[in-house]
Structure 1
Amino acid sequence: MTSYPLLLKQLWHTPLANAANQEIVYRDQLRLSYRQVYDRIGRFGAALAAYGLQQNDVIAVMDHDSHRYLECYFAIPMYGATLMTVNTKLTPTQIAYTLNHSRASMLLLHADFIPIIESIHAELPGIQKYIVMADETAVPQSILQFDNEYECWLADQKDGFNFGDFDENTRATTFYTTGTTGVPKGVYYTHRQLVLHTLAAGMALTAPAAQQRFHSEDVYMPLTPMFHVHAWGIPYIVTLLGIKQVYPGRYAPDMLLRLIREEQVTCSHCVPTLLKMILTAAQAAGVDLRGWKVVIGGSALPQVLARQALEMGIDCFAGYGLSETAPILTLAQLNATAQDPMTDDTLAKLCCAGRAIPLVDLQIVDEVMQSQAHDGQSSGEIVARAPWLTHGYLDNTEASAALWRGDYLHTQDIGTMDSNGYLYITDRLKDVIKVAGEWVSSLELENALTQVIGVKEVAVIGVPDKRWGECPLALLIVDNNLFKESAAQEQVRLFVDRGSIPKHALLTQFKQVENIIKTSVGKIDKKALRAEYAVAQ
């Protein structure tokens, strides 16, 4: 009997057999069937061969969320090359670093990003070929020497490509962390890892009886950039399920709402800031979002935002993972006996990190790697093992060793776990605030303050204090017609009296700001905020 390697190409067997005519939609511009997309993937492989690309070559992509990106997700790894997804939100200098560090030799480039590459092309000696992607028929003029336009490149290949078998441990993808600490670090995944993540996360997402679940009749639209951690791995899952997929291109509220309404989108995933933007736009436009299911990750899901979504008929729940974990580790799915989402306890569960998906070994440990009790009180660092976690950082043995200290992947997150396996993240190791020797969770404070009338957005950081060592500083974007600082102070006192946060949280200072700095993937950049406000009080 010959071996059956776990390669990404295997994910296509079931949808081609069972859902070959299912649709994959790009904005309001293009409709393709699964069969047509798979044929295009075959021509993609033939085009790579015609251009002399070799197995293990690195091929980089800069595009919006599109059918083209989905084709890259499969064709490049299936060819035996490595897909490098470029974080288009990084600075040009950082983008140049990641392209050079990854040793990319080819770049597939959407026309919108031509100016970025033009500004750094002299620093990219390794890029030997450029393929431009354009939504319009005309290719923009550029100082870059384009080898072809994507659609013409595929059309030039009359025949498909025979994607053969090879070692399932071949590297399939690489991408870079956002670089809030030093230069961006490259993580990488093999075919075997991505297939196992697809199977385990897919099993978890489809397991519940009613809510917090995806199924074969859903319509999927990603709202997480496809350059970021494989769009949480969901495109691989929904392709295997054979469900309708809708790709929105450049994110714009009007287009997103239009696609949700007209294509009857039922499942998505995004960060809290994007969910808030969509809810606000939907209310202003009178768009009904009932029946939409959305997984929230990237940062903590505020309970006030979750409640707003639930009241609008949205099945909203949290998930948790890292760039280093492919990414899904946990999902906040409820037991069938606890499906009333409006109770405080149930809402807290929907907003927590959730429970481990299949094959994930999740532990809470102290400084010497001793496991802590799963009692909802004992806290420590969250560490994990699973067959798809990155083996390390590309060409960075020191950081890789620290990541895998004690044979577990260290998340750098602090949390607790209750007796039912629900994980609650209380802070990042680097974000927890030490006031007079007592730890104060910035996330718990943020959750409390988001519930204050008039607060639109909040970030809590620790700032130096001559007396206490550190004190919490709450940066608030507010509606001046509604917000009162006294109400914020009273809210903190209420949470202290409940025992939800330590008494030293009463030392929190408040500052109203116009904006709160975000990272390239929409997370609050607390390192930048600490640098900006790090003046001893």
Structure 2
Amino acid sequence: MNTQHYEYQLTLDKIIRKAAQIYPNTEVVHAPPGGPIIRSNYAKEWDRIQRLGSVLEELGAIPGEPGKFGSKIAVLDWNTIMHFELYYGVPMYGAVLHTVNVLLSPEDIIYTMMHAQDDILFINEDFTSLARVATSLIKTIKKVVIMSNKPDHEEVTFDGAEVYWYEDLIRDARPYNFQELSENMVATMMFTSGTTGRPKGTYFTHRQLVLHAMSVALSLSAPPINANIYDVAMPLVPMFHVHAWGLPYIAALTGIKQVYPGRFDWGWVLKTIKEEGVTITNGVPTILYNLLYHPDSPKYDLSGLKFIIGGSALPRGLLEEANRRGIRVVQGFGLTETAPVILLTMEKSNMKDWPEERKREIILSAGLPIPLVDVRVVDENGRDVPRDGKTMGELVVRAPWITREYLGDPEKTRNAWRDDWFHTDDIAVWDSEGYVWIMDRAKDVIKSGGEWISSTRLEDLISTHPAVYEVAVIGAPHPKWGERPVAIVVPKPGQDITEGEIRKYLMELVNEGKMPKWWVPDKVIIVNSELPKTSTGKIDKKALKDRLSITLD
């Protein structure tokens, strides 16, 4: 038997090299609010990514190896072309790209960076103040690189860290000769949104990301999206959130033009969609809401736009308005731990024979498993529930790109990976055709604008007010955000407290960096009777929701 053969490695360089070779003139555009607009292409980006490799070498980044992390490169940035370059250059060098969720509270941002033990920090200049705090607290960070669109820059200093400017480094660097890497090397790292406590760390290898990109690209090329090289993609999922759902990799793999809008300004995004001919984008329902109801929206023809939606349930009214404007909406589902896509509302060949009502309902489902994904909906004993579209169970999943563990947390890892299936903690139903509907979160998480708010953590913060005896936080329906938190507070005996006092107290915690401002409840209800309990003594939130029937404007 001939043993002299090449072991092909599924690494990210295979994606961007091919894009530069086969689609060299296809544009990659950076169009931040107010400009300047940068028009690059895959050939130019490949050159800049090679130079980025030399920059990382100059900064002292250390490549990893299978089973061993390379240097951790943290990034605080919006959806920019520099972020796109880091998506490829850092993992291709052998280091680990840590995309930091800038929507977490400052306290949690510092926590995730400390937990990751980041070595080098790349920041958009908007995050200079936050980076200064990070470098003062996280002693592993010795170097900071500032990314800016401005031709000139002022002197910036950080205690204990050297400061560099991204464009200066790229301009002066030589193209780097990237070495062949093992596909099993860790490429990216990110943290969950912290729905049940502190954010949990996850990571993904080159092989996982390449397979994910291939599977999602294959799915999007089928009806109803029918993606092809004539499309133009604009990621509207923040790039710090689970690889922007893979779109920066998927679009390069398939030779699609990409547009990066910088920090989200919805009037500017609408203008850019029109001027750049964007045909594919993605995001949570709140993003679609912003595109449809922004004051400038009526000025733009959005017909033909294909919107991949996920993160929280798609409201029927929002879908109907999108359809009225000519937008084709496809729903998907995934988690941070699943890189993220595992389900998409793809069409089936026998769908043409289905009643129209059935077809409309399918659009509101989480979809079918994409290629290489296996899912089940199981009861508490791990047995499949009936595929009747009614019987609820937990969604469990297998796929090549699911995170292998939570960083430094073997107990949570064991709880998630049971019987060789990853347990999502999502309650779902499935039907005879294989479509899955997500019914609820097993934990009482609140999804606001596609971002998660931990009800238990918010309860803990409210409970620290000296006059609070008991508190429950539940999610109430909201027409724009999907859900918003509502707090039900019982005062201590003999104490009086008002909604305004609770909100003022929480704003003080916001200012201290204990929680994000958008976690502050939309409504605080003061009650003078004990909250209902379950048989185990826990507050019965379902009973609270049923009793109060809260809706928000």
Structure 2-normalised TM-score? Answer: 0.78
Q: Does 1:25 align with 2:29?
A: yes
1:73 to 75, 87, 100: 87
How far the C-alpha of 1:185 sits from its partner, in A, is 0.8
In structure 1, what is the Cα distance between the partners aligned to 2:357 and 2:87? 40
1:327 paired residue number: 340
Aligned mates of 1:399, 1:242 — CA distance in 2: 39
Structure 1 residues 278, 95: closer, same or farther in 2, change over 3 A?
same
Relative to structure 1, the CA distance from residue 105 to residue 506 in structure 2 (aligned partners, 3 Å threshold; closer, same or farther) is closer
How has the CA–CA distance of structure 1 residues 175 and 31 changed in structure 2, closer, same or farther, with 3 Å as cutoff? same
1:77-130 deviations in Å (ceiling 9; x for gaps): 000110000111112221111112111110011110011122343201010111
Query: CA separation in 1, counterparts of 2:278 and 2:115?
Result: 38
SS at match of 2:419: helix
| Offset from partner CA, 1:204-246 (integer Å, 9 cap, x none) | 11122xx233221100001010000000111101001111100
Deviations 1:291-318 (A, max 9, x none): 1001001111111101110110001111
Aligned to 1:152: 168
C-alpha offsets along residues 21-55 of structure 1, whole Å, 9 cap, x if unaligned?
Answer: 11000004100011000000000001111222111
Q: Tell me the CA shift for residue 202 of structure 1.
A: 1.1
Alignment CA distance shift 1:254-1:339 (3 Å): farther
| Contact 1:364/1:383, CA 8 A, preserved across alignment | yes
Secondary structure at the residue paired with 2:252?
helix
Deviation of the 1:14 alpha carbon: 2.9
For 1:241, give the aligned amino acid.
T
Structure 2 residue 188 is matched with structure 1 residue 180: no
1:171 corresponds to 2:186: yes
* Residue number in structure 2 paired with 1:472: none
Q: Report the Cα distance in structure 1 between the residues aligned to 2:299 and 2:291, rounded to whole angstroms.
A: 12
Q: Is the 8 A contact 1:290 1:312 kept in 2?
A: yes
Asked if 2 retains the 8 angstrom alpha-carbon contact of 1:383 and 1:410, the reply is yes
Contact map agreement 2:477 2:551 (CA 8 A) in 1: no
Q: 1:262 to 1:151 in 2, by over 3 A?
A: same
Report matched runs for 1:337-376 at 5 Å.
338=351, 343-376=356-389
Shift of 1:351: 1.6
2:284–2:312 Cα contact (<8 Å) kept:
yes
Taking structure 1 as reference, are residues 448 and 77 closer, same or farther at Cα in structure 2, changes over 3 Å only? closer
Aligned counterpart in structure 2 of residue 45 of structure 1, from 39, 53, 58: 53
Unmatched 5+ stretches in structure 2 = 64-69, 447-473, 491-519, 524-541
Percent of pairs with identical residues: 38
Question: Whole-Å Cα distance in 2 between the matches of residues 432 and 74 of structure 1?
Answer: 33
Indicate the larger mover: 336-345 or 377-386. 336-345
Corresponding residue number in structure 2 for 1:509: 548
* DSSP 3-state at the match of 2:240: coil
Q: Secondary structure, in 3 states, of the residue corresponding to 1:358?
A: coil
- Counterparts of 1:44-63 in structure 2 under 5 Å? 44-55=52-63, 56-63=70-77
2:417 maps to which residue?
Answer: 404
Q: Is the 8 A contact 2:379 2:394 kept in 1?
A: yes
- Alignment partner of 1:100 is 2:117: no
2-side partners of 1:337 and 1:476: how far apart? Answer: 46
Is 1:459 matched up with 2:483?
yes
Query: Partners of 2:355 and 2:144 in 1: how far apart?
Result: 52
Rounded Cα–Cα distance in structure 1 between residues aligned with 2:476 and 2:106: 38
Q: Which residue of 1 aligns with 2:7?
A: 3
SS for the counterpart of 2:9 is coil
List gaps (5 residues or longer) in structure 1.
434-445, 467-474, 479-502, 515-537
**C-alpha separation between the residues in 1 aligned to 2:55 and 2:129?**
26
Q: Offset of 1:460 from its aligned partner?
A: 8.1
Letter in 2 for 1:509: L
Q: How does 1:124-135 map to 2 (within 5 A)?
A: 124-135=138-149
**Could you tell me how far apart the structure 1 residues matched to 2:207 and 2:397 are?**
18
Q: Structure 1 residues 306 and 96, CA, compared in 2 at 3 Å: closer, same or farther?
A: same
User: 1:306 aligns to what?
Assistant: 319
Structure 1 length-normalised TM? 0.81
Matched, 1:83 2:122: no
Shift of 1:372: 1.7
